[in-house]
Structure 1
């Protein structure tokens, strides 16, 4: 399994944008399609909300890739 550590720049990132920013898809639209297909998990459960707010401490999975979302530097 591949692990990616993603550092937040704000309070949260929308799920479809996270997939794009991590290079798991080419665009936000492609990210929405992946979520709609049921292929994306958040904290182990299938997530169907394309723009779900992903916050520090959550883990997003797609296939054999796991993205760990971490808090960014204090603003």
Structure 2
């Protein structure tokens, strides 16, 4: 059985955050341009499903996966 990646909690301090911004905040990508590219390519999962909307509004508890890493939106 494959071990799943640990999930890092990334605080957004109760503020809404968009998917592209969250990828940067969580350190999953280095730039907004990189975020745009990996989202467009379908390489990003939100709650286990591909999401190609860079402007998707994330909620507390959402889990974003990219590059073998996972990050959860937290307060």
What is the TM-score with the length of structure 1 in the denominator?
A: 0.84
Distance 1:33 1:3 in 2: 23
Deviation, 1:11, is 3.3
Q: Mean alpha-carbon deviation: is it higher for 2-11 or for 24-33?
A: 2-11
Unpaired runs of 5+ in structure 2?
Answer: none
What is the TM-score with the length of structure 2 in the denominator?
A: 0.84
What do you get for the CA RMSD once the two structures are aligned?
1.2
- 2:12 pairs, out of 5, 8, 17, with 8
- How many residue pairs match? The answer is 71
Q: What does the per-residue CA deviation read over 1:34-71, in whole Å, with 9 as the maximum and x for residues that have no partner?
A: 10010000011000101111110111111311111112
Which 4+ runs in 1 deviate beyond 3 A?
none
Aligned residue number for residue 25 of structure 2: 21
Distance 1:65 1:59 in 2: 10
